[in-house]
């Protein structure tokens, strides 16, 4: 996955915990916490994942854990942001603080789920904004999302942070990645 960022966004570490594969039990678990209210599963998976991140030693200097923000309309419809629960679990294990407020989605965009690669990039272009730049400056920030497919969402968020706080350092942790996410040509 690190190759997805080469020449685009400077990141220190990138990891995914699970494969997101059609028909797999993990994919079903992610769908349950994302769409069916099983948010406690996201938190528990985040804690499990966070233990492995801690054990690796690569994430010891993380200052802030930032979940991918949802637009307020989507949050109202779903009732929660699953990436926040993942971030809570990860941050607990890393001993870091979760920042839910420094970034936000400035506009409602359609779900990435059924979009092509190029549509995904266009769909998240300019969608994020910084609310509290001082919180981000000079920090090592771990960006957390549930599924990494093309990287469009994470890269859009990372670009937004680096425009506002160029001295921020970024790392990425996604709960799951699709097998084709490793293919740079896709």
| Bridge partners, 65 (sequence order) | 98, 142
On whether residue 7 sits in a domain, the answer given is no
Q: Taking Cα atoms as reference points, which of 99, 102, 106, 108 lies closest to residue 78?
A: 108
Burial class (CB in 10 A: 0-12, 13-18, 19+), 91: buried
> Which pLDDT score is estimated for 111?
56
Binned at pLDDT 50, 70 and 90, residue 131 comes out as very high
The pTM of the full predicted model, rounded to 2 decimals, is 0.87
Whether the per-residue pLDDT at 79 is higher than 70: the answer is yes
Residue 2 lies in a domain: no
CA 159 – CA 174 distance, rounded (Å):
17
Position 116 scores a pLDDT of: 57
The answer as to whether 11 is a domain residue is no
> Does 131 map to a domain?
yes
* Alpha carbons 23 and 25: distance in angstroms, whole number: 7
Give the chain's domain count: 1
- For residue 3, which phi and psi values (nearest 5 degrees)? -60, -30
Residue keyed to tokens 């923000």: 69
Could you list the residue range(s) of the whole structural domain that residue 51 is in?
Answer: 16-179
In a domain, 186, yes or no: no
Q: With respect to residue 166, please indicate whether it lies within any of the assigned structural domains.
A: yes
Classify residue 10: in a domain, yes or no.
Answer: no
Closest Cα partner for 82 from 21, 29, 146? 146
The HSE-up count of residue 11 (CA atoms within 13 Å, CB side) is 25
CATH code: domain of residue 109: 3.40.50.2020
Alpha helical stretches, state H, 13-148: 25-35, 39-56, 72-78, 82-94, 117-124, 133-136
- Summarize pLDDT for 89-127 with one digit per residue, the tens: 999 999 999 999 999 988 776 554 555 555 555 666 778
Q: 95's torsion region: left (phi>0), alpha (psi -120 to 50) or beta? A: left
What pLDDT is recorded for position 118?
A: 56
Q: Does residue 81 fall inside a structural domain? A: yes
The secondary structure element, H or E, covering residue 158 is helix 152-164
Q: Are 178 and 112 in contact, with CB atoms under 8 Å apart?
A: no
Per residue in 150-169, pLDDT tens? 888 898 999 999 999 999 99
């Amino acid at each position: 996955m690190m190759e997805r960022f080469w020449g685009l966004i400077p990141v220190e570490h990138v990891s995914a915990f699970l494969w997101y594969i059609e028909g797999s039990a993990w994919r079903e678990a992610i769908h349950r916490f994302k769409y069916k209210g099983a948010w406690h599963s996201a938190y528990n998976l985040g804690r499990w994942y966070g233990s492995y991140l801690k054990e690796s030693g690569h994430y010891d200097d993380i200052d802030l854990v930032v979940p991918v923000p949802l637009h307020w309309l989507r949050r109202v419809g779903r009732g929660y942001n699953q990436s926040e629960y993942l971030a809570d679990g990860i941050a607990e294990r890393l001993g870091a603080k979760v920042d839910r407020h420094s970034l936000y989605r400035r506009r409602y965009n359609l779900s990435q789920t059924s979009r092509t690669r190029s549509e995904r990039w266009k769909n998240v272009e300019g969608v994020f904004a910084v609310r509290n730049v001082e919180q981000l400056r000079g920090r090592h920030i771990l960006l957390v999302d549930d599924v990494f497919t093309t990287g469009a969402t994470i890269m859009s968020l990372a670009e937004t942070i680096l425009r506002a706080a160029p001295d921020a350092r970024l790392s990425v942790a996604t709960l799951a990645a699709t097998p084709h996410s490793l293919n740079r040509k896709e």
